[in-house]
Amino acid sequence: MRKNKFLFLFQAVFLLATISIARAEVLIGWFTDLGNSDAWPGYAKDGSNLFHLSGAGWFTPAEVTTKMNIIQNLGGKVSLDMKGTSGLPRLSVSTYKDFISKVKNHPAMWGYYIADEPDLCPERGLSVQECHNRLTSNPGWYPITKAADANHYAWLVCANAICPQFNNAADIVAIDSYPVHKNACEFCTEEIRRQPDLQQAGVDNAKTINKGPYIAVVQAFAARQWSEPTLPEMKYQAFSALVQGAKVILWWYDGWANSSIKNKVAEIQRIIRDVRPQLDSSTKNDPAVSVSQNLIAQNKLIFRYGVVSTTGALLAVNVANRSNSNGETLSAVRFTLPAGLRPSQVEVMGEGRTLPVVNGVFKDNFDRFQVHLYRFDNTSDTDRPQNR
């Protein structure tokens, strides 16, 4: 009975801690090495505001704190890897707790990464159940982390799928997906084309268990069995996550990313950076915006729309015919903005072009699996507030 009471009290503390964490904003950034700190100002300039660093099991609290100071000065937040070179923490419980006690009050602290792909534990010689037990009860890395610091997230990532068996083993259950395989032509793997479905599953799982923000870990490397993604593939993966409702995008990882990949990530991050407030407050498939050709009902196009002050943004992703590498071209797609929003033009972010808006209507074309993000400045005083 005493044990059950103890568990109940722990669960109550976890629930209150999760509720007390502020509403999530859109965070983007890199898995990055501590030794790569010279690159961080450039990342921050491009829009990175979350940096995932090696922590316990890798470096001392003092070494990590020095790097956290750099990120604080850049206006960013820090997620710390707590597992060392293994899929689960390997430190003694006392050392682990001591590490947290020395970093938890840092202003840049955001969360702790406590497990890497525990759904693949059999590849490390452990059963899935054993990994679950180690996270929840023996020794219980999740409750240990929350008892040491109830004010920041404890999160884990599963491999290319939701893993409900670990929903009670972390505050956030993220998904990593590396969908561009060796020697595959552009959009030829089903894994890349199905990103909207995978990310929707992750977002839905987070909502179902009332845990979040959902994190999408996306591909930014070429090594072993993976090829370098093209820019359209990288945009499709990242913006599929955002359009479905992901609040955090982390690119894995700068240690395996060549300059070409880093340039592509920078281009995507700059687009997100410039409409971050609008994405923060956007609504998926907002019924106030009309889209032609019945594309939303046919699950051929997904969009998000938000307005902050006098600036609006609309993110649209062509998801048509994603069971086939040919996809589908969407021509002359017409967007009608809500009444009272009558800008003269929309800027197509990152593409160096603008489109005219006539009576709140603009048109554009979408190649297969193409992403467009539109930004406009409203000339009317009747802005429609967005906060959903």
Mean pLDDT of the chain: 91
Quote the percentage of the chain above a pLDDT of 70: 91
In a domain, 342, yes or no: yes
User: The tokens 């990120």 sit on which residue?
Assistant: 71
Q: Is the pLDDT of residue 373 over 90?
A: yes
SS3 187: coil
Q: Which domain holds residue 255?
A: 2-273
Q: Is the pLDDT of residue 145 over 60?
A: yes
Contact 313, 373 (CB under 8 A): yes
Q: Is the pLDDT of residue 7 over 50?
A: no
Q: Could you give the CA distance from residue 178 to residue 159 in angstroms, rounded to a whole number?
A: 9
pTM, two decimal places: 0.91
Q: Is the pLDDT of residue 4 over 50?
A: no
Residue 237 and residue 320 in one domain: no
Of residues 20 and 283, the one with the higher pLDDT is 283
Q: What is the pLDDT of residue 380?
A: 47
Lowest mean pLDDT among 66-70, 123-127, 193-197, 200-204: 123-127
Task: Give me the mean pLDDT over the 174-187 stretch.
Answer: 95
pLDDT in tens, 249-273: 999 999 999 999 999 999 999 999 9
Of residues 85 and 245, the one with the higher pLDDT is 245
In a domain, 156, yes or no: yes
Q: Could you give the CA distance from residue 261 to residue 234 in angstroms, rounded to a whole number?
A: 9
Of residues 130 and 11, the one with the higher pLDDT is 130
Q: What is the pLDDT of residue 379?
A: 61
Contact 118, 170 (CB under 8 A): no
Q: Is the pLDDT of residue 355 over 50?
A: yes
In a domain, 384, yes or no: no
In a domain, 345, yes or no: yes
CA 40 to chain centre: 19
Three-state SS string over 56-121 comes to CCCCCHHHHHHHHHHHHHCCCEEEEECCCCCCCCCCCHHHHHHHHHHHCCCCCEEEEEEEECHHHH
Q: What is the pLDDT of residue 85?
A: 76
User: Which among 190, 179, 199, 158 has a CA at the least distance from the CA of 317?
Assistant: 199
Q: Is the pLDDT of residue 186 over 50?
A: yes
Residue 206 and residue 297 in one domain: no
Give the residue from 212, 239, 273 where a domain finishes: 273
Q: Identity (one letter) of the amino acid at 154?
A: A
Q: Identity (one letter) of the amino acid at 260?
A: S
Q: What is the pLDDT of residue 6?
A: 37
Residue 257 and residue 314 in one domain: no
Q: Could you give the CA distance from residue 122 to residue 120 in angstroms, rounded to a whole number?
A: 6
Residue 158 and residue 299 in one domain: no
Q: What is the pLDDT of residue 212?
A: 81
pLDDT in tens, 211-226: 889 999 999 999 999 9
**Residue partners of 237: CB distance under 8 A and separation at least 6:** 177, 179, 192, 195, 218, 219, 229
Cα dist. 355→177, 223, 340 in Å?
34, 39, 19
Q: Is the pLDDT of residue 9 over 80?
A: no
Residue 21 and residue 106 in one domain: yes
Q: What is the pLDDT of residue 50?
A: 98
